[in-house]
Amino acid sequence: MDIVISHETTYRYDRPVNYSIQALRLTPCISSGQSVLRWNIVGRGRSPASSGEDGFGNLVHTLTTVGDHSHVTIRASGEVRTQDTNGVLSGAIERFRPLFYLRPTSLTEANEAIHGLARQAKRSADGDLDLGHRLMGLVRDAVDYETGATDAAHTAAEAIAAGAGVCQDHAHVFIACARALEVPARYVSGYLWSEGSAGPFDAGHAWAELFVDDLGWVGFDVANRICPTDAHVRVAVGRDYLDAAPVRGLRSGSADEQMQVQVQVSAAQ
């Protein structure tokens, strides 16, 4: 499938700042099931500098703005060709061995509720692949999809306590459960095409990957209860959202900041 993507992020400040810098993980990665046909990133009318790959193998661009400014707009757009691999990843850059993804993070720390879900999935699972599917269903049952219920700073424990969240929260809870069972799991940021829903949306998409012996990394889109298909575009990977966030930045001064995101995803004509 050929998928066309437009992603625009705007930072607005309530008073001018004289310096801001954004790290951009907005370029889709290349794997056996995914190739980039064209891609372009523009910020404040120019192409941002490439900083190369981060520690996870994600391509990172850096946009630095010097001089008084009250907003910064970053636009990423292009076309990606995908293939359905039944959720199994191959041919991607791997900087770490799977055991690295057992490392805990503040966003994926397991509490008793998460340990309980993990134990429930483990009791009836026939191997790690089945475990992933059982976890996907249990996590989705425990955390209803509700926009606005959480934000980027919410942890897996907070999402499961609230019983609601978005795809980021589903991925974090799934990862926390898997790691509680000592099965490597990681976070993936990207995009999802849905027929009849070309956007614009206020965010991209996120899912989790579980390491399964004899298969390697396998994706689980908990929010939609499916393994990733050719409708999914994989962009960045990390231990949690903070490692794979599309845009993260810093600014000088004490100005308050608002961020607005618009994403459009459609099938190429």
**What pLDDT score does 49 carry?**
77
Q: Does the reported pTM lie above 0.85?
A: yes
Task: Give yes or no for residue 223 having a pLDDT over 90.
Answer: yes
Q: Residue 198: is its pLDDT beyond 60?
A: no
Nearest CA to 208 out of 156, 148, 247 is that of: 156
Q: Per residue in 238-253, pLDDT tens?
A: 999 999 999 998 888 8
Residue 168, SS3 per DSSP: helix
**CA-closest candidate to residue 116, choices 40, 186, 176, 193:** 176
Percent of the chain at pLDDT exceeding 70:
97
CB 5 within 8 A of CB 267: no
* Structure token digits, residue 182: 């000592």
**8 Å CB contact between 206 and 143:** no
Highest mean pLDDT among 32-46, 64-78, 204-218: 204-218
Q: At residue 107, does pLDDT exceed 70?
A: yes
Regarding predicted confidence, which is higher, 1 or 199?
A: 1
CATH classification of 85-235, choosing from 3.30.9.10, 3.30.360.10, 3.40.50.150, 3.10.620.30?
3.10.620.30
Q: Of 3.40.50.300, 2.60.40.2250, 2.50.20.10, 1.10.3720.10, which CATH number belongs to 2-81+247-267?
A: 2.60.40.2250
